[in-house]
């Protein structure tokens, strides 16, 4: 059974569906493929050696973690949760909110879903994997080793994209180890604001700051306080450094008069980043893993939309959070003996707050269900690489893929195929770039593996991004999983019907939930008026932009870190995340959209704004805000609409073929007639001009030119 199970756990989940079980026990976490293998023992050893950092690595701490969180069960049962902390988890009944969709569906004779249980419906693809456990089970230690042996022959095909990162990892481990000394050496680099290092006790700062914070945050702080105050003899001594966020808040309050606007943004941001704990520890390591120009994934930071400074500014706040999340993740893995935890609402929260970069690839691989495919299909990838190589000349897609290889992240250090020479010129090296070669093999193999898709532009970006996180074969299976399981059918097909339908679904959500934005983008036409066209040509023009969002899964739309955060959730929760993020982008840019009148400006705002949305935490928070929020969408909400539009389009096509294509046909005929008439006329004129001699001919060519 795949792990791709809807993660919106309900309190009564057990009654509705059995709790998800992992496809196989992960005896060994395979981090970073061949380059680095972390065994449970390693994790524990590391935990022990770094015990001062892993302050929460105890059973009692887990209890606190749970206690600290508001009791979801009771809260949800009793009524809507008040705290924003619990905005994540549950889906409410949306049938009351969406009468139109429901009406339409009823009209079309589709059985309406019981919205109460809709969230427990497995997404369509799940069943595809149902037959897999039997294959997978033997793959314990022995299975892995056996597999390794069988794989060696094809090793030459493998690329270890992260091989270069392996030293980085050990470096960062060393950094972690070196941190005790850094504890003393405050202030923390880099200083968030000039006075942030002023020593304040935790409790003082917590108290002071909480008074100036929003109620939701206050509730978090409150729970944090109980957590910190409860005695835990088992806990290694918690470093009592001045808490960075809290001291910042304190300072913010102090300097409120002199930097009002700044304070408000910082407060806003600290609020966004707060996830229930005030501790920001360990301090951010010096960023030696990436140069000033590029982020840790090799992407150039500065763009038309964002400067390097913007990134650094953002990093000051974000990096501590990332570090702390990483710590929490390693802790939860250690608690679980180095195995991936079973999906749970708690773990979903972890995922929504971002998977640490070093675990990302493997977490995607595991929770998406790609791992199961990978283990069930040993050698299949290599076979398809071979097939693709052999049938290269007949494969129409190879040429198109070839043209896109160098246009996939041309600015990324791993994919860059141009080198700047000393004399200022640039030269292209094309064949010897490992990432590009891997991308070629992967896309070729995919075009053979999935002949009904072959290759669609934008798959290059997805595959390219995957290659930055997992090794080639895993990237292949992740791509397959995205397309076969996570996304609905037909997105990348020749007709791209699935993509068009999803655009209609998205537009409907906007129409229903963000009507004022709908009015802007549709120039005040009704939704059904826009929808009625056969080929979807009367959909708001904005779908030209939003189709890109879904096709590349936000690559080249959002800044890299935001894309990765979206992917974290997508691999864990499924495709609905894309819709929720799309709505969140609209929601967050609401004001900017409302501020412009010219529809073309609206278009540009929607086209360009996401590129500036560096604040991934804020984006994710908006995405998963619940309680009547515009972004609260369930799989069933999407599926219902998808089915509706599918049938409507089908029906329209049928009637169009039979009868009333007249309008379109008339236009076509008219166009053709006019065109033919023009051609004829032109011919006559040409002949005439030739007759009239060179003067006429010269005249003619002048006009043609």
Partner 1 sequence: MAARQQQQQGTPAQGKTYQFKLVLLGESAVGKSSLVMRFVKDHFDEYRESTIGAAFLAQTISLDDNTTVKFEIWDTAGQERYKSLAPMYYRNANCAVVVYDITQAASLEKAKAWVNELQRQADPNIVIALAGNKCDLDSRRAVETETAQEYADEAGLLFFETSAKSAHNVTQLFTSIAKKMPLDQLADQSRNKTKGLNPRGVDLSRPANPNNCACKKSLIVL
Q: Which residues bind partner 1 (CB under 8 A)?
A: 400, 403-404, 406-410, 417-418, 426, 428, 456-458, 460-461, 492-497, 500, 523, 535-537, 539, 541, 543-548, 551-552, 556, 597-601, 603-604, 607-608, 667-668, 670-672, 674-675, 677-679, 681-682, 685, 688-689, 696, 699-701, 703-705
Residue with tokens 């707060």: 274
For partner 1, the closer CB: 219 or 503? 503
For partner 1, the closer CB: 494 or 627? 494
Q: How far is the CB of 671 from partner 1 (least distance, A)?
A: 5
Contacts of 314 (CB under 8 A, 6+ apart): 614, 615
For partner 1, the closer CB: 423 or 598? 598
For partner 1, the closer CB: 263 or 539? 539
For partner 1, the closer CB: 41 or 669? 669
Residue with tokens 């293998």: 37
CB 256 within 8 A of CB 77: no
CB 7 within 8 A of CB 1: no
Q: How far is the CB of 565 from partner 1 (least distance, A)?
A: 21
From the list 184, 360, 379, the residue with the least C-alpha distance to 283 is: 184
For partner 1, the closer CB: 296 or 541? 541
What does the alpha-carbon distance between residue 142 and residue 616 come to, in Å, rounded to a whole number?
Answer: 41
Q: How far is the CB of 461 from partner 1 (least distance, A)?
A: 8
What does the alpha-carbon distance between residue 297 and residue 542 come to, in Å, rounded to a whole number?
Answer: 30
CB atoms within 10 A of CB 185: 10
For partner 1, the closer CB: 582 or 636? 582
Helix (H, G, I), strand (E, B) or coil at 268: helix
From the list 370, 330, 348, 602, the residue with the least C-alpha distance to 480 is: 370
What does the alpha-carbon distance between residue 102 and residue 94 come to, in Å, rounded to a whole number?
Answer: 10
Helix (H) or strand (E) holding 233: none
Q: How far is the CB of 494 from partner 1 (least distance, A)?
A: 5
Q: How far is the CB of 607 from partner 1 (least distance, A)?
A: 6
Q: How far is the CB of 611 from partner 1 (least distance, A)?
A: 11
Per-position DSSP letters for 124-161, written without gaps between them: GGGGGGTT-HHHHTTTTHHHHHHHHHHHGGGGGG---T
What does the alpha-carbon distance between residue 345 and residue 8 come to, in Å, rounded to a whole number?
Answer: 7
Q: How far is the CB of 413 from partner 1 (least distance, A)?
A: 14
Q: Is 646 exposed, middle or buried (0-12, 13-18, 19+ CB in 10 A)?
A: middle
For partner 1, the closer CB: 67 or 544? 544
For partner 1, the closer CB: 497 or 590? 497
Q: How far is the CB of 532 from partner 1 (least distance, A)?
A: 14
For partner 1, the closer CB: 57 or 415? 415
What does the alpha-carbon distance between residue 644 and residue 113 come to, in Å, rounded to a whole number?
Answer: 13
Q: How far is the CB of 566 from partner 1 (least distance, A)?
A: 16
Alpha carbon 221 to chain centroid, angstroms: 29
What does the alpha-carbon distance between residue 515 and residue 521 come to, in Å, rounded to a whole number?
Answer: 10
Cis omega (within 30 of 0) for bond into 11: no
Question: Across-strand partners of 294?
Answer: 300
Q: What tokens were used for 263? A: 């304070």
Contacts of 320 (CB under 8 A, 6+ apart): 244, 245, 280, 281, 283, 284
Q: How far is the CB of 429 from partner 1 (least distance, A)?
A: 12
For partner 1, the closer CB: 14 or 399? 399
Q: How far is the CB of 303 from partner 1 (least distance, A)?
A: 11
Cα dist. 63→56, 328, 330 in Å? Answer: 10, 14, 17
């Amino acid at each position: 059974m795949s792990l791709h199970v809807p993660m919106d756990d309900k309190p009564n989940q057990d009654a509705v569906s059995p709790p998800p079980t992992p496809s196989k026990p992960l005896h060994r976490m395979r981090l970073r493929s061949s380059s680095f293998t972390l065994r449970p023992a390693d994790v524990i050893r590391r935990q022990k050696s770094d015990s001062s950092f892993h302050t929460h690595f105890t059973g009692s701490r887990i209890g606190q973690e749970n206690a600290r969180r508001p009791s979801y069960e009771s809260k949800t049962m009793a009524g809507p949760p008040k705290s924003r902390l619990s905005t994540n988890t549950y889906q409410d009944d949306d049938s009351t909110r969406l009468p139109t969709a429901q009406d339409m569906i009823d009209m079309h004779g589709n059985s309406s879903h019981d919205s109460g249980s809709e969230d427990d419906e497995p997404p369509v693809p799940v069943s595809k994997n149902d037959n897999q456990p039997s294959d997978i089970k033997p793959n314990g230690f022995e299975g892995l080793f056996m597999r390794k042996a069988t794989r060696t022959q094809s090793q030459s095909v493998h690329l270890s994209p992260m091989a270069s990162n392996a030293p980085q990892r050990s470096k960062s481990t060393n950094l972690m180890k070196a941190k005790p000394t850094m504890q003393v050496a405050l202030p923390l680099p880099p200083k968030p604001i000039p006075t942030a290092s002023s020593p304040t006790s935790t409790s003082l700062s917590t108290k002071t700051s909480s008074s100036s914070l929003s109620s939701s945050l206050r509730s978090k702080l409150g729970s944090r306080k109980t957590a910190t105050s409860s005695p835990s003899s088992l806990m290694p001594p918690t470093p009592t450094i001045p808490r960075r966020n809290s001291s910042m808040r304190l300072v913010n309050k102090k300097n409120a008069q002199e930097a009002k606007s700044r304070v408000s943004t910082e407060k806003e941001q600290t609020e966004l980043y707060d996830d229930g704990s005030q501790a920001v520890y360990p301090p951010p390591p010096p960023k030696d893993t990436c140069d000033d120009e590029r982020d840790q994934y090799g992407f150039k930071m500065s763009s038309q939309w964002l400067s390097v400074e913007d990134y650094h500014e953002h990093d000051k706040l974000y990096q501590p959070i990332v570090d702390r999340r990483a710590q929490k993740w390693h802790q939860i893995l250690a608690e679980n003996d180095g195995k991936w935890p079973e999906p749970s609402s708690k773990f979903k929260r972890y995922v929504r707050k971002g998977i640490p970069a070093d675990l990302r690839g493997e977490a995607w691989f595991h929770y998406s269900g790609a791992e199961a495919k990978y283990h069930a299909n040993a050698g299949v990838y290599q076979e398809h690489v071979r097939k693709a190589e052999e049938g290269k000349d007949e494969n129409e897609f190879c040429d198109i893929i070839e043209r896109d290889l160098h246009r996939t992240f041309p600015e990324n250090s791993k994919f860059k195929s141009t080198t700047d020479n000393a004399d200022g010129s640039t030269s292209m090296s094309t064949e010897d770039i490992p990432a590009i070669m891997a991308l070629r093999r992967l896309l070729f193999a995919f075009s053979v593996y999935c002949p009904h898709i072959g290759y669609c532009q934008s798959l290059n970006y997805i595959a390219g991004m995957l290659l930055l996180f997992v090794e080639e074969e895993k990237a292949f299976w992740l791509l397959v999983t995205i397309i076969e399981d996570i996304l609905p059918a037909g997105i990348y097909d020749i007709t791209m019907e699935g993509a068009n339908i999803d655009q209609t679904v998205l537009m409907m959500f906007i129409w229903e939930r963000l009507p004022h934005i709908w009015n802007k983008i549709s120039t005040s036409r009704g939704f059904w008026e826009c929808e009625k066209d056969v080929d979807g040509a009367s959909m708001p023009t904005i779908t030209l932009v939003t189709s890109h969002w879904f096709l590349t899964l936000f690559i080249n739309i959002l800044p890299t870190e935001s894309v990765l955060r979206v992917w974290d959730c997508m691999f864990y929760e499924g495709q609905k995340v894309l819709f929720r993020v799309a709505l969140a982008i609209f929601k967050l840019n609401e004001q900017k959209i409302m501020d412009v009148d010219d529809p073309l400006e609206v278009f540009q705002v929607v086209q360009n704004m996401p590129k500036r949305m560096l604040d991934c935490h804020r984006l994710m928070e908006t995405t998963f805000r619940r309680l009547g929020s515009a972004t609260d969408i369930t799989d069933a909400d999407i599926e219902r609409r998808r089915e509706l539009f599918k049938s409507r389009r089908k029906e329209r096509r049928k009637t169009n073929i039979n009868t009333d294509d007249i309008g379109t046909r008339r236009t076509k005929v008219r166009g053709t007639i006019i065109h033919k008439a023009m051609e004829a006329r032109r011919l006559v004129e040409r002949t005439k001009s030739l007759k009239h001699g060179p003067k006429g001919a010269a005249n003619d060519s002048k006009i043609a030119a």
